[in-house]
């Protein structure tokens, strides 16, 4: 728990220590919310009674894992190109530390999907959803910058190059995630 809070509050230090278990746990929770808990909530409380589709759940879970491996590969390739010495495994162990906001986003998406009518045309609840959603986006962006600068060690021009290049690839991967049925991109 202490390690967990440490990773939450001091991501730069956490990235240096590389607590693999926390990183992978965060990714696992994100994938589970995406693939299993979302559809289950939809089944029990959703407006349209969608049947539980085990095959679809498994496909989404597999797509999530594949997506995580792909983003690791992208980060490794781009960092390597710009002169970082980190290995592919280093990236796969560490990138999960940036999954706090992704996990929150997965929960927000699941809740707003199922209780759509609460948030629609309601300025108070809608404002709350907007606050959390945009906050999560900012948070992830900050963690992305910290990751590239402090963990991959890219400064100056290299940093901006990596930021743009990985950013474009993240957009592509996010589109692929949506295509595969991952409501929250596992990136």
Partner 1 sequence: MRKKNDAVEKALILLEQDSLPSEQQKDRMLAHIVATSEAEQTSSVVRLRQEKMLSGFDRLRQVVFAYPWRVAFAVSALQAAILTLLFGTQYTNLFLAFIGG
Kindly tell me which of 81 and 116 has the beta carbon lying closer to partner 1.
Answer: 116
Binding flag, residue 3, partner 1 (CB under 8 A): no
Sites for partner 1 among residues 124-163 (CB under 8 A)? 125-136, 138-139, 141-143, 146, 150
**Binding window for partner 1 (CB under 8 A); candidates: 41-49, 87-95, 117-125, 169-177:** 117-125
Pick from 47, 122, 155, 164: which binds partner 1 (CB under 8 A)?
A: 122
* Cβ within 8 Å of residue 131, ≥6 positions away: none
Sites for partner 1 among residues 28-87 (CB under 8 A)? none
Residues interacting with partner 1, by CB under 8 A? 8-12, 100-101, 108-109, 112-113, 116, 119-123, 125-136, 138-139, 141-143, 146, 150, 183
């Amino acid at each position: 728990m202490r390690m967990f809070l440490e990773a939450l509050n001091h991501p730069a230090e956490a990235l240096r220590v590389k607590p693999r278990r926390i990183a992978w746990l965060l990714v696992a929770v994100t994938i589970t919310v995406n693939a299993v808990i979302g559809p289950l909530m939809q089944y029990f409380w959703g407006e349209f009674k969608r049947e539980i589709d085990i095959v679809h759940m498994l496909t989404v879970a597999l797509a999530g894992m594949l997506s995580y491996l792909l983003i690791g590969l992208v980060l490794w390739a781009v960092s390597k190109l710009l002169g970082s010495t980190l290995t592919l495994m280093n990236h796969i162990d560490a990138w999960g530390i940036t999954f706090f906001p992704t996990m929150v986003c997965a929960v927000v998406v699941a809740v707003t999907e199922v209780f759509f009518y609460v948030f629609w045309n309601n300025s108070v609840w809608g404002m709350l959803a907007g606050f959390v959603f945009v906050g999560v986006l900012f948070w992830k962006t900050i963690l992305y910058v910290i990751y590239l600068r402090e963990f991959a060690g890219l400064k100056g021009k290299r940093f901006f190059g990596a930021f743009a290049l990985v950013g474009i690839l993240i957009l592509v991967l996010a589109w692929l995630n949506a295509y595969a049925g991952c409501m929250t991109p596992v990136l």
